[in-house]
Structure 1
Amino acid sequence: MPDFTGYFAGRNLGLSQVWTEYFLYMDDDHHFTNRTKLDVLVSLLDKTNLHLVSGTIKGRERHVHTLRVVGNRTYSCYEKRHQYYHQVKGFPGCYVADHVPNFFLASTNEVKAIGFDPHPALSRVGHYAFFMSALGRIRIAFCTTVEFLHNQTTTEHDLPYQSIRKVGQEYYQMRGHHELFKYDFVC
């Protein structure tokens, strides 16, 4: 794809080529370990009513959240909390949540039905935007028994990428306006 098209547009293109029941998505800086048990994730999708399942980064749950829309007749916004709802019955260490890391196995058809918003406001930072769009539409869980690594080291070869990846306040302002409009929030 052309430069600066955005990773959500790239996800849509990649997803359009998937014909299997499930697909695995992971960022380019995620790595498998001996504890990356994809069979556990497949089992969750096969044996429950879940649509998207993830693991944890080295056993940490800091990238797992619940999302809640709050407000009244004139005000609406959302809360993002570092927590989960409950354990998945029959799967110890697996919990229901609304927002999980960018390493997940998911139902191809369910995710295609939601898609990834290719708007320029979400072209560089917008992982949680997919989960906002998915809220109330798909069921999500993560397992502490399934781990993957996240490489956060930077070398001199990464500097050109880092200059593109790091966004300024202008970008976040554009993204904020887009979210308010898209989700009809007033916050």
Structure 2
Amino acid sequence: MEATPELDVVGGSVSGNQFYFSIAYEEGDGVTGGCMDRKSNIKFQSLPNDPQCSIVNGVVNFFLARTDAVNRVRFDPKLKRVAHSEFFMDGLGELMVASCGHVSIGHQPRGANAQYGRFRHPGKGDVQYKLQLHYYKKHLECIHYG
């Protein structure tokens, strides 16, 4: 991030799994909402100072970010654990995000903890609430995931 001061967020891989996505936004006509198209594993361009890093719109839950940039966007407290992609959707046009394939951390192995599944995989009600709130906040008619 020091070599590219325009960057606000840099992500990597977790246990060898690199997740990143791009977002295309088509604005609505004022009456109907707009549409967001989130595509996994799509990069825009490599960073000139580091070809192993590419510009994207969102990264995995492991990232390094500038505090002032994250404070401009903020995680929505109504969404608790289910707002990862939505944070980056809210940051569209606000955050400069990169994913770096050579930056990696490990992941604690899952034990026989009955609570893990409940926290890791939210219920349908949480997901439905998240989508309704996000559609409302962004005046969206559709969100496509691919």
Give TM class, smaller chain.
Answer: 0.7 to 0.9
SS in 1 for 2:20: coil
Shift of 1:128: 0.9
Residue of 102, 116, 135 corresponding to 1:145: 102
Matched residue of 2:126: which SS?
helix
1:170 corresponds, among 103, 125, 131, to: 125
**AA at the equivalent of 2:83:** G
Choose from 81, 86, 93 the match for 1:129: 86
Which 4+ residue blocks in structure 1 deviate beyond 6 angstroms?
Answer: none
Q: Which has the higher helix share?
A: 1
What are the equivalent positions in structure 2 for 1:46-61 lying under 5 Å apart? Answer: 46-48=2-4, 49-61=6-18
Classify 1:92/1:108 alpha carbon distance in 2 versus 1 (closer, same or farther; 3 Å): same
| TM-fit CA distance, 1:105 | 1.1
Structure 1 unaligned segments of length 5 or more: list them. Answer: 1-44
| Structure 2: runs of 5+ lacking an equivalent | none
Name the count of aligned residue pairs: 138
Identity score, percent: 28
TM-score (norm 2): 0.84
Kindly name which structure, 1 or 2, has the bigger radius of gyration based on alpha carbons: 1
Q: The residue matched to 1:116 in structure 2 has which SS?
A: coil
The Cα shift of 1:181 comes to 0.5
Check conservation: 2:46, 2:53, Cα contact below 8 A.
yes
Cα RMSD, aligned residues only:
1.8
Q: Which structure has more strand as a fraction of its residues?
A: 2
TM-score by length of 1: 0.67
Partner of 1:155: 111
